[in-house]
């Protein structure tokens, strides 16, 4: 009896040309719109393809399944957020420590361009797939690199954070925001919530600075 032939492996295309890149953008935008309109319950590859105006075969050329779509959407939004976080940490709008932290927190809270339902669906999917660490690592690394740049010089704005301090700082702030997203807290985008996250981050950074240089803020007689 002849051996059963194995189906050929389908290699996912990497969008190198401008048209291919535009197709991927359209697919991811369609995915975000479907998630915002109906959440994970309405999120299927067929629905995304229809919303994006492409065939299902075209969608599968770039994404193996809807989980790959969710991860790609999360990565896209993270890249946009990191660029904004970088500008915040450099103090382009407000050079003070609180100003930099506030700008960073505001950027993270307002990620996904205000699409709260889409953001919740992506966060849920990422956590279910155990990919939270994969996406958190570049965020932490970016904040560490940007913080080191800002913290250099004779009078640094931000203290240099150890690996442990960076872990606590990123998880405390991002964890609180993530919880508010998943719980659909009505205050998520309020100034009061932003104030509390900023208070937490600034107090923690201030404590690190004071511990590293006890005499820096000591009043002289």
User: Residue 201 pLDDT > 70, yes or no?
Assistant: yes
114-172 tens-digit pLDDT: 677 887 887 777 776 665 555 556 566 666 666 565 555 544 566 677 888 888 888 88
Token reading at 195: 């104030």
Cα torsion 170, 172, 173, 177: sign: positive
9 pLDDT band, cuts 50/70/90, is very low
User: Residue 11 pLDDT > 60, yes or no?
Assistant: no
pLDDT at 62: 94
208 pLDDT band, cuts 50/70/90, is confident
Q: 């932290």: which residue's tokens?
A: 101
User: Residue 197 pLDDT > 90, yes or no?
Assistant: yes
Contact indicator for 39, 121 with CB cutoff of 8 Å:
yes
Average pLDDT over residues 36-63: 94
Which domains are assigned to the chain? 10-64 (1.10.10.60), 71-212 (1.10.357)
Cα torsion 216, 151, 135, 54: sign: positive
Q: In this predicted model, which residue has the larger pLDDT, 71 or 81?
A: 71
Average pLDDT over residues 39-67: 94
Q: What is residue 177's DSSP assignment? A: H
Q: What is residue 65's DSSP assignment? A: S
Token reading at 34: 């479907």
pLDDT at 99: 86
What pTM, to 2 d.p., does this model score? 0.65
Q: Rounded to whole angstroms, how far apart are CA atoms 176 and 194?
A: 11
How much is the mean pLDDT over the chain? Answer: 78
User: Residue 8 pLDDT > 70, yes or no?
Assistant: no
């Amino acid at each position: 009896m002849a051996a059963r032939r194995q189906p050929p492996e389908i290699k996912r295309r990497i969008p190198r040309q401008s048209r291919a890149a535009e197709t991927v953008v359209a697919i991811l935008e369609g995915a975000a719109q479907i998630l915002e309109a109906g959440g994970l319950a309405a999120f299927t590859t067929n629905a995304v393809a229809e919303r994006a105006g492409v065939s299902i075969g075209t969608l599968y050329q770039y994404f193996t399944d809807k989980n790959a779509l969710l991860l790609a959407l999360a990565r896209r939004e993270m890249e946009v957020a990191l660029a904004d976080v970088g500008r915040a940490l450099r103090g382009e709008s407000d050079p003070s420590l609180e100003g930099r932290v506030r700008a960073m927190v505001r950027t993270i809270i307002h990620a996904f361009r205000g699409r709260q339902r889409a953001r919740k669906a992506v966060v849920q999917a990422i956590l279910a797939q155990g990919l939270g660490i994969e996406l958190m690592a570049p965020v932490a690394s970016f904040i560490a690199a940007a913080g080191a740049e800002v913290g250099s010089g004779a009078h640094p704005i931000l203290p240099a954070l150890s690996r442990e301090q960076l872990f606590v700082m990123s998880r405390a702030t991002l964890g609180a925001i993530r919880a508010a997203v998943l719980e659909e807290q009505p205050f998520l985008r309020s100034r009061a919530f932003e104030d509390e996250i900023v208070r937490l981050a600034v107090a923690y950074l201030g404590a690190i600075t004071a511990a590293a240089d006890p005499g820096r803020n000591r009043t002289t007689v």
